[in-house]
């Protein structure tokens, strides 16, 4: 049985004092869950968050990184820099980064390789636009994205990779994919992984759903056969609401 992984993506929100307050509120609310709990925080919160989750079951991720090891890349942060302070996860290829910061399947692949090379676990985001869904292209878009993201990645790395299926039309819109839509597309992604790596590997890989997840829909989504938890944006900014999502099975 695959574990459920619930990750918050704070995006460009939360100052360090807010991050610390949040973690102090969240910790007692999620301490008994068997689900994995991750907060992906802005760079400026990372160090504070890492200090304050010590001794808890909350894990910390970043939201982006550069693929180069070091050098003249003003404003960028490397995988090794994130790893050196204890960061465990990093979101790679979020649709907002693809849309506003010109990230492509190729840069996503370079970042995934760089993260894995230092022991940082990537959360790889893929998903289709509304146009693509309405013209019946969802499966070809997401399977192509995942194939390119994983190009050259060995199967032994799959246990350290999380995939987040986030339909772009469901992000921040309040419009959630139905549980059937989300499950069907995630099953198609899993099938692609079985073609690339074999059925055993595909059966083990964690694939989350993201896009307007909230406490009122988390249970029906996360109980679906192929959905292994969620990547949560807006609803991860309030500790009590996020805790309800983590505890969807209580």
Residues that bind ligand 13P (CB under 6 A): 9, 94, 166, 171-172, 210-213, 231-235
DSSP H helices, 95-214, are: 95-100, 105-117, 130-134, 138-149, 179-197, 199-204
Closer of 213 and 243 to ligand 13P (Cβ) = 213
Residue from 27, 36, 96, 166 carrying the catalytic annotation: 166
* Angle (deg, nearest 10), helices 179-197 and 138-149: 40
CA angle, 119 then 232 then 158, to 5°: 30
Chain residue whose CB lies nearest ligand 13P: 233
Contact 137, 105 (CB under 8 A): no
**CB neighbour class for 70 (10 Å; exposed up to 12, middle 13-18, buried from 19):** exposed
Active site residue 66: no
Closer of 205 and 213 to ligand 13P (Cβ) = 213
Closer of 63 and 114 to ligand 13P (Cβ) = 63
Nearest approach, Cβ of residue 207 and ligand 13P (Å): 14
Residue from 27, 36, 52, 94 carrying the catalytic annotation: 94
Nearest approach, Cβ of residue 188 and ligand 13P (Å): 20
Closer of 41 and 197 to ligand 13P (Cβ) = 41
Instruction: Determine the Cα–Cα distance for residues 186 and 194; give it in Å rounded to an integer.
Output: 12
Nearest approach, Cβ of residue 172 and ligand 13P (Å): 4
Active site residue 52: no
Nearest approach, Cβ of residue 156 and ligand 13P (Å): 27
Name the β-bridge partners of 5.
36, 229
The residues annotated with a catalytic role in the active site are 94, 166
């Amino acid at each position: 049985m695959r574990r459920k992984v619930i990750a918050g993506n704070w995006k460009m929100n939360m100052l360090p004092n807010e991050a610390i307050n949040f973690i102090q509120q969240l910790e007692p609310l999620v301490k008994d869950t068997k689900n994995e709990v991750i907060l992906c925080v802005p760079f400026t919160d990372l160090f504070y968050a890492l200090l304050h989750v010590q001794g808890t079951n909350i894990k910390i991720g970043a939201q982006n990184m550069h693929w180069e090891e070091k050098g003249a890349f003003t404003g960028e942060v490397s995988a090794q820099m994130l790893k050196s302070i204890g960061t465990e996860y990093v979101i790679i290829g979020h649709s907002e980064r693809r849309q506003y910061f010109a990230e492509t399947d190729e840069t996503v692949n370079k970042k995934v390789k760089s993260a894995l090379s230092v022991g940082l676990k990537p959360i790889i985001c893929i998903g289709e636009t509304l146009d693509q869904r309405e013209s019946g292209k969802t499966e070809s878009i997401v399977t192509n994205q995942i194939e390119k993201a994983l190009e050259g990645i060995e199967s032994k790395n799959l246990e350290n990779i999380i995939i987040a299926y986030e339909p772009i039309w469901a992000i921040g819109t309040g419009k959630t994919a139905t549980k059937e839509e989300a499950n069907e597309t995630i099953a198609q992604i899993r099938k692609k992984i079985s073609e690339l790596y074999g059925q055993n590997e595909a059966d083990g890989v964690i694939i989350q759903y993201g896009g307007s997840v909230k406490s009122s829909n988390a249970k029906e989504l996360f109980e679906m056969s192929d959905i292994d938890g969620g990547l949560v944006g807006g609803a991860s900014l309030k500790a009590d609401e996020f805790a309800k999502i983590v505890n969807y099975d209580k």
